[in-house]
């Protein structure tokens, strides 16, 4: 019974699971928090990983380990392998202008967007690594000059676990490479010209590995998997198949499916990522998901369970109260300077229950827009598989079916990103053409009559968002 480990180095925390490679049974697990903020020193991820590994009983007895992580974060290394500056995370919007510039430089109007969609499958917004490199070149030229290599959070952790300090030993996988903006899922090749266009010169990038190719080994011999972006790992963790759309409610809200052909959406709404099995992962990502619930609970001075009870106590549509959840600006739609808003306040709707319901519905409506965009790109939506920390909310689980208008399947609470990484590690340890078939048992299914008025009213409110003041 070989054991394998999977890591999820996500925005808010690091999670480690140790599972039986053949059956997928959970043997032990651990976690540790990450610091807050959209700019983080990678050494904090390394410390959290060590703490989480210790809490999971160590890795001495595992045959293989894979690291999945938050996508897009810019980790710049100098020639000695030292981190040049704190990493800019996927939810850091300071590179919004750089993103607009890169698109504009590629062609006026739709031509620029079409260029990027054709070149790398996605139109870059502030989240993408390529825009952060442009920001660095323009705003911190001395730091930009020191950069010898650029990689992503999961690449850096895998490299650290290997014990190497040689930049030539950096490895990544297709799924995370596809979120950089300088690697094409359609061709499987880097676009060094686009990286150079952003940073002003060429730097080293990690070698892109196949789905079950070793990235090296831990010093004590356990194999290191290629790892994955967290969404691709979640797809592997829940075993998403044809007709499944996964909705993940973490810091980000994501809506994605596994596809046989690459996507290239010139509107920029759907990102044409690669998955962790050799296929593709069209994906829509919002900046505001579980933290909308945290914020609503904070405003109401209740815990998350009480927030769910309150939300379920108000009627569908919250009697017309709508919360537009752009609390951190927004990525989809691309409104980095937007703020959130509450519309429809009356004496009747000025209750904690109405506000709680509006928060849950607003967050889910933004994701339902993503579901529509994915369907417009050809995805079949037979059911939604709901994962991420926000899926622990009873209100989210119940209201999702009303908002999405399709059955919602919720696997038992778990760490599906770390599980996907563990499944990849098992694939590496056991070999074979496909990953071992683990499937979560005990899923719950939620079905409900759709309530179209919720989305209609949300769509009206969404258009009336305000931008953040740029001074003061
Ligand atoms: N019972 C719950 N109800 C609602 N939200 C929850 C609940 N439990 C955890 N969460 C939320 O889940 C989020 C963390 O989810 P996670 O998927 O781990 O995020 P990330 O992958 O971005 O680090 C937190 O914002 C937390 O508030
Ligand atoms: O930017 C994206 C996807 O494109 C995010 O999904 C990040 O990958 C962060 O994920 P979480 O930590 O919120 O799960």
Domains of the chain in sequence order: 3-230 (3.30.420.40), 239-410+442-471 (3.30.420.40)
**Which ligand has its closest atom nearest to the C-alpha of 303?**
1
CA distance linking residue 315 with residue 357, whole number of Å: 8
**Which ligand has its closest atom nearest to the C-alpha of 230?**
2
* Nearest CA, atom 19, ligand 1: 250
* Nearest CA, atom 9, ligand 2: 70
* Nearest CA, atom 10, ligand 1: 389
**Which ligand has its closest atom nearest to the C-alpha of 34?**
1
Q: Is any ligand 1 atom within 6 A of the Cβ of residue 392?
A: yes
Q: Is any ligand 1 atom within 6 A of the Cβ of residue 330?
A: no
Q: How far is the CA of 304 from the centre of ligand 1 (A)?
A: 10
Q: What is the pLDDT of residue 76?
A: 98
Q: What is the pLDDT of residue 321?
A: 98
72 is in an annotated binding site: yes
Interface ipTM? 0.98
Instruction: Count CA atoms closer than 13 A to 176's CA, side-chain side.
Output: 35
Q: Are 5 and 223 in contact (CB under 8 A)?
A: no
- Tell whether omega for the bond before 340 is within 30 degrees of 0, i.e. cis: no
Q: What is the pLDDT of residue 472?
A: 40
| Cβ contacts of 2 within 8 Å, gap of 6 or more | 20, 21, 22, 62, 63, 64, 426, 429, 430
The residues carrying an active-site annotation are 230
71 is in an annotated binding site: yes
CA distance linking residue 201 with residue 209, whole number of Å: 24
- Name all residues whose Cβ lies below 6 A of ligand 2: 10-11, 70-72, 90, 127, 179, 229-231, 250-252, 254, 285
| Per-residue model confidence as pLDDT tens for the chain (472 residues) | 799 999 999 999 999 999 999 999 999 999 999 999 999 999 999 999 999 999 999 999 999 999 999 999 999 999 999 999 999 999 999 999 999 999 999 999 899 999 999 999 999 999 999 999 999 999 999 999 999 999 999 999 999 999 999 999 999 999 999 999 999 999 999 999 999 999 999 999 999 999 999 999 999 899 999 999 999 999 999 999 888 899 999 999 999 999 999 999 999 999 999 999 999 999 999 999 999 999 999 999 999 999 999 999 999 999 999 999 999 999 999 999 999 999 999 999 999 999 999 999 999 999 999 999 999 999 999 999 999 999 999 999 999 999 999 999 999 999 999 999 999 999 999 999 999 998 767 899 999 899 999 999 999 999 888 887 764 4
What is the best residue among 7, 11, 122 to mutate for testing ligand 2's pocket, by most ligand atoms within 8 Å of CB? 11
| Cβ contacts of 109 within 8 Å, gap of 6 or more | none
Q: Are 457 and 317 in contact (CB under 8 A)?
A: yes
């Amino acid at each position: 019974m070989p054991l394998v480990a999977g890591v999820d180095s996500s925005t808010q925390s690091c999670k480690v699971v140790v599972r039986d490679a053949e059956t997928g049974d959970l043997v032990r697990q651990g976690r540790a928090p990450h610091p807050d903020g959209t700019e983080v020193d990678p050494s904090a991820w390394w410390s959290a990983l060590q703490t989480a590994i210790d809490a999971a009983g160590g890795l001495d007895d595992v045959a293989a380990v894979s690291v999945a992580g938050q996508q897009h974060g810019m980790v710049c290394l100098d020639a000695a392998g030292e981190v040049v500056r704190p990493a800019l995370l996927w939810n850091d919007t300071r590179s919004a202008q750089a993103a607009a510039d890169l698109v504009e430089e590629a062609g006026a109007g739709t031509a620029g967007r079409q260029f990027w969609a054709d070149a790398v499958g996605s139109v870059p917004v502030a989240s993408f690594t390529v825009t952060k490199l442009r920001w660095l070149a323009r705003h911190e030229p001395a730091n930009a000059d020191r950069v010898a290599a650029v990689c992503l959070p999961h690449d850096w952790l895998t490299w650290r676990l290997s014990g190497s300090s040689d930049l030539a030993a950096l490895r990544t996988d297709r799924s995370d490479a596809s979120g950089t903006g300088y690697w094409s899922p359609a061709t499987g090749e880097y676009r060094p010209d686009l990286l150079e266009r952003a940073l002003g010169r060429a730097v080293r990038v990690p070698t892109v590995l196949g789905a079950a190719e070793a990235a090296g080994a831990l010093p004590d011999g356990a194999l290191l998997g290629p790892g994955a972006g967290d969404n691709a790992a979640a797809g592997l963790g829940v075993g998403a198949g044809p007709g499944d759309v996964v909705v993940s409610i973490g810091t980000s809200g994501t809506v994605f499916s596994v596809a046989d052909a690459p996507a290239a959406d010139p509107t920029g709404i759907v990102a044409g990522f690669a998955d962790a099995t050799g296929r593709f992962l069209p994906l829509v990502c919002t900046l505001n998901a579980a933290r909308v619930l945290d914020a609503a609970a904070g405003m109401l001075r209740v815990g998350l369970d009480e927030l769910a009870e309150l939300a379920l106590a108000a009627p569908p549509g919250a009697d017309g109260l709508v919360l537009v959840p752009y609390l951190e600006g927004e990525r989809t739609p691309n409104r980095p300077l937007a703020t959130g808003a509450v519309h429809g306040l009356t004496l009747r709707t000025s209750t904690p229950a109405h506000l709680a319901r509006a928060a849950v519905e607003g967050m889910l409506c933004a994701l339902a827009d993503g579901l529509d965009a994915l369907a417009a790109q050809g995805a079949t939506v037979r059911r939604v598989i709901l994962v991420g920390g926000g899926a622990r909310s009873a209100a989210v689980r119940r209201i999702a079916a009303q908002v999405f208008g399709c059955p919602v399947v919720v696997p038992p609470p778990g760490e599906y990103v770390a599980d996907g990484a563990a499944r990849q590690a098992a694939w590496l340890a056991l070999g074979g053409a496909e990953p071992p078939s683990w499937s979560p048992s005990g899923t719950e299914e939620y079905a409900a009559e759709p309530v179209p008025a919720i989305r209609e009213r949300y769509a009206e409110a969404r258009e009336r968002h305000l931008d953040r003041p740029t001074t003061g």
